[in-house]
Structure 1
């Protein structure tokens, strides 16, 4: 039985995480501990977090799309493989121990933070792409699998790979990240719901907060561009690294 105070509290937290997710990703770094703190079992917490995140990401995606920052048709192959990858990851995570990832992922996140800090490509200027949209699709599918399987840093991985491989400017890469992240969230929500792990009332209350946060965050990102997104990406990457290492060695 969920206590009454949990609903408004986690809805307020969802506003903050939706704002952060819309700009740099990593809102789950705050939301998952908050869900677990209330006593919700881990699998239900993961499922409910995916539900609220799906709505927050959708709001940010709509705002970015209205500004012409998302090429919908060109990225359809990536969406399909991201969906399939996330679905596969969501199925696998229910039967495989994921604790070893707590050591691997911090290394990747540190690499992301270093890349964001030193790369001259981390601006709002588009650059020459190294792979086509179809060539990126398998990479997107792999990140989608990771999102369904584990999750932390997914948005950061999407954004940095889109800048490095597709040549997008940082704001445009952030916009496309919302499309791909939303796609992976749909797959995860569908499978978690099918497995009966979803806390619907709590998740939908949190979704309202996440949508508000996503709306505010996407408008803020479009207004300030790379000069806001770049430092936030670094901060989120380092914060997730510290959180995952702490969780691993404290266990």
Structure 2
């Protein structure tokens, strides 16, 4: 039934739970699951596409958890999520024709910049600030760009959504985190739709990992809602830094 042995499946489930926990708070869950899938024997396309399968469970659960506590209105985000979905589809299809080497070279620098922003910028907390872009403008500028990147490559997309909401929408850290999850779900789903057309996801394994992701995402979102910026900021700094180092390692 599963594409891997039972023992490897247990390892993947543990990785998915941890990834769901981390991703629901700060993003970067793919930093955990993609390398583990590669170690389990998946080729790069299988690893990326299976990661999309299990990732939609985690981001969807986190979105519902934050919405249930009133931190985000999913109905108001529906149109923006639709934009993220189609941009994710486009990004995934572009991955087959566009060379991504240059983008990979610049990504570690961007991620280190994000880590430094959240580590050293004073006054970042759960309070809202002045809005720099209205929601409609954000929906047709930053959102499709990040969603297309999510389909094209993926690592750090949650952090990019997060910093857009903090710097452009003026959201507090917890509110920004809550608002990233539906968009991350939508662009993940769009990427999966494209990968399913030309890739080969491990469907059974991906769904099993998705269930573990749901449990991790549920726990992580509860922790984030209770502690807020005090845990979101340091975890975001750590995940962005580790992801940057991982990408540098891969290039070397």
Q: State the TM-score bracket (shorter-chain normalisation).
A: over 0.9
| 1:209 to 2:215 alignment | no
Change (3 A) 1:131 1:74: farther
TM-score between both structures, scaled by the size of structure 2:
0.95
Select which of 160, 185, 188 maps to 2:191: 188
Total equivalences in the alignment = 249
How far did 1:194 drift?
2.7
Instruction: Give 1:51's aligned residue.
Output: 53
Instruction: Give 2:83's aligned residue.
Output: 81
Question: C-alpha distance in 2, partners of 1:80/1:63?
Answer: 20
Instruction: Give 1:64's aligned residue.
Output: 66
Instruction: Give 2:246's aligned residue.
Output: 243
How do 1:74-113 residues align onto structure 2 when only pairs under 5 Å count? 74-113=76-115
Question: Where do 4+ consecutive residues of structure 1 move more than 3 Å?
Answer: none
How do 1:17-56 residues align onto structure 2 when only pairs under 5 Å count? 17-56=19-58
Q: Is the 8 A contact 1:74 1:133 kept in 2?
A: no
Runs of at least 5 residues in structure 2 that lack an aligned partner in the other structure: none
Offset from partner CA, 1:94-145 (integer Å, 9 cap, x none): 2333233221101111111121122235210011110111010121110000
SS across alignment from 2:74: coil
Runs of at least 5 residues in structure 1 that lack an aligned partner in the other structure: none
Instruction: Give 1:177's aligned residue.
Output: 180
Select which of 119, 122, 147 maps to 2:121: 119
Question: C-alpha distance in 2, partners of 1:196/1:106?
Answer: 26
Question: C-alpha distance in 2, partners of 1:193/1:116?
Answer: 36
Q: Is the 8 A contact 1:86 1:149 kept in 2?
A: yes
Select which of 227, 233, 247 maps to 1:224: 227
Question: C-alpha distance in 2, partners of 1:96/1:5?
Answer: 37
